[in-house]
Amino acid sequence: MRVLVTGGAGFIGSAACRRLVAEGHAVANIDKLTYAANPKSLAALAGDPRYRFERDDICDAAAMTRIFAAHEPDAVLHLAAESHVDRSISDAADFVRTNLLGTYQLLEAARQYWGRLPAGRASRFRFIHVSTDEVFGSAPEGRFREDTRYRPSSPYSASKAGSDHLAGAWHKTYGLPVIICNCSNNYGPYQFPEKLIPLAVLNAFDGRPVPVYGDGSNVRDWLFVEDFVDGLLAVVQHGAVGQSYNFGSGRETTNLEIVEQICATLDSLVPNGRPRRALISFVPDRPGHDRRYAIDPTKARNELGWRPRIELETGLARTVKWYVENPAWWGPLRSNIYRGERLGLVEARR
């Protein structure tokens, strides 16, 4: 296949690019290279004739039209997004622009391109819109299904909910072959260190306080990034047009439990004479913090044959080990872009 990946220098996007090229597909990666993108995540693809990079903004309609014409994709994996909840609380403008306007421009470019394809290629074309379980809000009980009502809590999740609705509308109104994927919290190597797991790993590794919001009892479903990439490829190949699929591990864990596992793993890998659990520091909770996310992946399992392969303990150990062994990747980010400061507090406005 020829696959157009948006946000391919980001965490999930770079994992998708590496996998697609490894499996023999041609990839065109569109990335604006914002603060959370890192070309080093794609170093393994340098010089590979199956990989092309386009530094462009998905909000640029002319650029999107040009890129579709130049690369003639068989499928689109739309992963480009502003995704950090705390940053959306501090300033929502980029989230509205990228996640809503950017998705609109990309859908329009795809629609115009798809409309010009020969019948055979048009019938095989797929637009995979990648979203989050956060659009469903907090789950007091049960698990999120594909038909769960949307109740976004943060500016980030609201912007992603809006982009999901745009993607669905472009299918229903124009017939664009859209499939929507909602995934739980991904983790793994190459994740920008503002997110909980890499932040906890690096702070504990450096002997700095490891912040945990509130009392640490917020529950998340953690999915190893390679398992989600498996799901995306299954959707491209076997997903039903106009449908949505939820992807999660089915394993619910509190944030405190995750951080404690990270500290224990670091103590085993690089002991420093003092249990790193002592570094855990409880800090004021995030405004509007959802208490629990829980995904029901039954539909993806039954219709796509997808199952997560990596258990949480295994994936977390692999992730911690990767960060310990790759300071050349994360060191410049911690020094120059994000030093671990607290984001997203709005106390001054209340």
Q: What residues act catalytically? A: 133-134, 156
- HSE of 213 in the Cβ direction (CA atoms, 13 Å)? 20
- Is residue 317 within a helix (H) or strand (E), and if so which, with residue range? helix 312-325
| Whether 319 contacts 259, CB under 8 Å | no
- What phi-psi label fits residue 308: left (phi over 0), alpha (psi between -120 and 50 degrees) or beta? beta
Find, among 300, 59, 36, the residue nearest to 181 by Cα: 300
CA 343 to chain CA mean position, Å = 19
Burial class from Cβ neighbours inside 10 Å (0-12, 13-18, 19+) for residue 187 reads: buried
- What phi-psi label fits residue 47: left (phi over 0), alpha (psi between -120 and 50 degrees) or beta? left
Taking only Cα atoms into account, the Rg of the chain, rounded to an integer number of angstroms, comes to 20
**Alpha carbon distances (Å) from 332 to 46, 310, 327, 338, 342:** 20, 29, 8, 9, 19
Other CB atoms closer than 10 Å to residue 350's CB: what's the count? 5
